[in-house]
Amino acid sequence: MRASFAPWADPGAKPLLRLEGVSKRFADTAAVDNLSLDIFEREFFALLGPSGSGKTTLLRLLAGFERPDSGKILLDGEDIAGVPPYRRPVNMMFQNYALFPHLNVASNIAFGLRQERMPRREIRQRVAELLALVKLEGLERRRPHQLSGGQRQRVALARSLAKRPKVLLLDEPLAALDRKLREQTQFELAKLQEQLGTTFVIVTHDQQEAMTMAHRMAVMDNGRLIQVAPPSEVYEQPASRWVADFIGDVNLLEGEVKTTQSGVATVAGKNGEEFRLAVSADIWPGMHVWAALRPEKIQVGPQPPAGAADNKFRGVVEDIAYRGNVIVYRVKLALGDELMASVANASRLMELPISRGDEVWLSWPAAAGVLLSH
């Protein structure tokens, strides 16, 4: 998660990039469907969605490789929807890096600058700066095939930054790296973005990646934006069941709102259980809702929790998944619902305190989950 930076919350702020009702169809499927979105200067914006959700098409529309069927793409207030890619102050880092195999590292990075006919001396200087930025000094004469995957990724990044674009588009930039390197690079990329102040728009299918790096993320499905918000908001206040389920793990409990009192709704579950959860403005009695409850927000214990709890249920452990850092319990409640509860593995006991078939108590405060109307 990133430091406080929230121009989207300021109604007077002017977006750097504005999409107005942008649509793009391929044959008879709408890859991008009447989509509107504002992206601000210095923002690190992530497009997240399952494959086929239209996130890559949206990125290609921004790059100019696709033209929208309708709608406007405004960059600094100017419609660039019809401007070809070679005239846009926008650059892209490709998923497979698309490094030119016949050119060495320095020539790859300098490629865009040479098209601009920048003087040789300045090119050399800029290339040296970029090589230092991505820590590839000394490799300028290497060809792409002589580099490791991580090094290639850095060359691609340097090349896409060389022309100092107003917006840098990144298409799954870390997908080809192994996990350790990817996690390390996530932090580096976020730091680099802050340092350069360039607006980054990244496409990824990896929610960890989006949450680690982005100021805001857009969750896409079927060519539409389902939710656009900072990562913590998407996680804690998902806009719908679909988002709650797509981002992280979640328990969804179906029910009907009985009463709402002092900010807490009492919900009657399908199996007759009653639970209490914090209520938001668009929830009222009689409504059909789903309670979205993250597994890590449920307490698990062999005894009923001491004192009053908003929700406490008895159940039997059906399954235990030991994941190292957390232990996930699948608990079947007496009334028939099944819940996942995860507990941080804080102690280092070989014997787990709870085993399969044990009776346990699950409890959570009203503020632990959200009620979703759709």
Partner 1 sequence: MARRQNAGGTFVVVLVPYLWLAALFLVPCLIILKISLSQTAIAQPPYTPVYDFAVGWAGFKEFISGLSFQNYSALAQDTIYLSSYLKSLQVAAVSTAILLVIGYPLAYGISRATGRWQALLVLLVILPFWTSFLIRVYAWITILQTDGLFNRALQALGIISAPVAWLASDTAVYIGIVYSYLPFMVLPLYASLQHVDDSLLEAAADLGCRRWKAFWKITVPLSLPGAIAGALLCFIPVVGEFVIPDLLGSSSSMMIGQTLWTEFFSNKDWPIAGAIAIVLLIVLVGPIAGFEFIRARDLKGR
Contact residues toward partner 1 (CB under 8 A) are 63-65, 84-87, 91-92, 94, 96, 98-102, 111-112, 115-116, 143, 145, 159-160, 162-163
Minimum Å distance from CB 61 to partner 1? 13
Minimum Å distance from CB 50 to partner 1? 22
Minimum Å distance from CB 163 to partner 1? 7
Smallest CA-to-CA distance from 312 within 287, 349, 276, 350 is with: 276
Positive or negative: CA dihedral 10, 14, 17, 18: positive
Closer Cβ to partner 1, 161 or 340, answer by number: 161
Q: CA torsion angle for 191, 194, 199, 204 (degrees, to 10)?
A: 30
Closer Cβ to partner 1, 104 or 222, answer by number: 104
Smallest CA-to-CA distance from 340 within 317, 371, 358, 324 is with: 317
Minimum Å distance from CB 92 to partner 1? 5
Closer Cβ to partner 1, 49 or 144, answer by number: 144
342 and 356 Cβ atoms separated by less than 8 Å = no
> Is residue 292 packed enough to be buried (19+ CB in 10 Å), middle (13-18) or exposed (0-12)?
buried
Minimum Å distance from CB 328 to partner 1? 40
65 and 236 Cβ atoms separated by less than 8 Å = no
Closer Cβ to partner 1, 64 or 255, answer by number: 64
- Euclidean distance between CA atoms 64 and 58, whole angstroms: 10
Token pair 């989509």 in the structure block, residue: 35
- Euclidean distance between CA atoms 294 and 340, whole angstroms: 8
- Euclidean distance between CA atoms 11 and 15, whole angstroms: 10
Closer Cβ to partner 1, 95 or 345, answer by number: 95
Closer Cβ to partner 1, 117 or 179, answer by number: 117
Closer Cβ to partner 1, 167 or 213, answer by number: 167
Minimum Å distance from CB 226 to partner 1? 28
Minimum Å distance from CB 302 to partner 1? 56
Crossing angle between the packed helical segments 179-196 and 149-161, to the nearest 10 degrees: 20
Q: In sequence order, what are the residues at sequence separation of 6 or more whose Cβ sits closer than 8 angstroms to the Cβ of residue 351?
A: none
